[in-house]
Amino acid sequence: MRTPIIAAGLVGLASVANAQDTLTVYTYDSFVAEWGPGPVIEKAFEARCDCDLEFVAVGDGAEILSRLRLEGARTEADVVLGLDENLAEAARETALFAPHGIESPQLDLPIEWQDELFLPFDWGYFAFIYDKTKVDNPPTSFEELADSDLSILIQDPRSSTPGLGLILWVKAVYGEEAGAYWERLNDQIVTVTKGWSEAYGMFVEGEADMVLSYTTSPAYHLIAEDDDTKAAAAFDDGHYMQIEIAGKVASTEQGELADMFMDFMLTDGFQSAIPTTNWMYPAKIPTEGLPDGFETLHEPESALIYLGAEAEAIRDDAIEEWRAASTR
């Protein structure tokens, strides 16, 4: 046991001794996982910046924002990567972000992008994922879901961006009736996890029939595990869209590096890693196109999304509605 401890100590010393510039990027847990995009992107960026790119995982997406608020201008983050459009307005209101400075970025999003502070790096549709070998008749709408006795795993909207996405999705479908819908769904929710990784891990282990994730999630099983048993339940209600965004922190002392990273984010070096590591659609389709297997994914006919201020206006009330309904 002694060797690894000493080794860990030496690694610690080494990183102190190195006076190279460090770019600190706050992101969510699964981004920096060994199999996530973090390691690939870190390598690619460090190869061109002569710097040390350090990803700091601070929980799930929505926790990044809370963390920033707690730290204020004292934060060590230079770039924040992994908020989503639903949180953009709240992030804007903290006044902690600086403009990205990229004029009319080239993007392949289903919507038009005009935001001075934040740039998208990937996007996807939320969906409930199920195992085809275990669930015979997947629900085709929220109604069918609530009428079935399928157990589901969801994420806490206060800590997790998919969790928040689901709240807004239900709100978009049910409007005033959202609270009543949550009450109907209540019994089927096995647990509400803090982050996406936890819920998805539990689903894979068989703790529930379905998990809230993305239409792109089956691609992971198909491409990385050669397993075609997982599928996304296609809902006639339409699927809520998530656009994941990044922004440059205003108080950064590494302004140039941060700008460089924001530029790099929309190049192939970053974007080509996204489909097969973050299992989302890239914000800018890389030159080699989408990997094989993505064509098998369900493409929703209607996409739902509340943009910026609109999402902000309904978010708190929608979460409160869900909490109130879920406690019954």
Partner 1 sequence: MARGIDAVTRTAGAGAIALALVLLLTLGTLAAVAVRAESAGGFGVADWAALRFTLIQATLSAALSVVLAVPIGRAFARRRFPGRSLLVMLLGAPFILPVIVAVFGLISVFGRSGIVSQALLALGFEPISIYGFHGVVLAHVFFNLPLATRLVLQGWLAIPAERFRLAASLGMTSRDISRHLERPMLREVVPGAFLVIFLLCLTSFAVALALGGGPRATTIELAIYQAFRLDFDLGKAALLALVQFVLGAAVALIALKVALPSGFGSGLDRAVMRWDANSPVLRALDAALIALATLFLVLPMAMIAVDGIPALTSLPPSVFAATLRSLGVAMASVVLSISLALPIAAWAVKSRSRLVEAIGTLTIAASPLVIGTGLFILIFPVADPFAFALPVTALVNAVMSLPFALRALVPALGQIEADFGRLADGLGMSGWARFRLVWLPRLRRPLGFSAGLAAALSMGDLGVIALFASPDTPTLPLQLYRLLSAYRMDDAAGAALVLLAASLAVFWVFDRGGRVNADA
- Given the rule CB under 8 A, which residues bind partner 1? 1, 4-5, 7-9, 11-12, 29-30, 33, 56-58, 62-63, 66, 69-71, 74, 156, 158-159, 186, 189-195, 197-198, 200-202, 204-208, 320, 322-324, 326-327
Interior angle at CA 235, CA 328 and CA 151, nearest 5: 40
Decide whether 191 or 267 has the Cβ nearer to partner 1. Answer: 191
Q: How far is the CB of 268 from partner 1 (least distance, A)?
A: 28
- For partner 1, the closer of residues 9 and 110 by Cβ is 9
Between 45 and 55, whose beta carbon lies closer to partner 1? 55
Task: Tell me the C-alpha to C-alpha distance, in Å, between residue 8 and each of 12, 24, 35, 38, 70.
Answer: 6, 21, 22, 21, 30
CA nearest neighbour of 283 among 90, 81, 57, 98: 81
Read off φ and ψ for residue 264, nearest 5 degrees: -60, -30
Q: Least Å distance between CB 307 and partner 1?
A: 23
Rg, the chain, Cα only: 20
CB of 58 to partner 1, least distance (A): 5
Sort residue 193 into left (φ over 0), alpha (ψ -120 to 50) or beta.
Answer: beta
Measured from the CB atom, the residue of 85 and 321 that comes closer to partner 1 is 321
Q: How far is the CB of 51 from partner 1 (least distance, A)?
A: 17
Nearer to partner 1, 56 or 309 (CB): 56
- Minimum separation from the CB atom of position 215 to partner 1 (A): 21
DSSP string, 114-125: --SSEEEEEEEE
Q: Which residues pair with 233 in a beta bridge?
A: 128
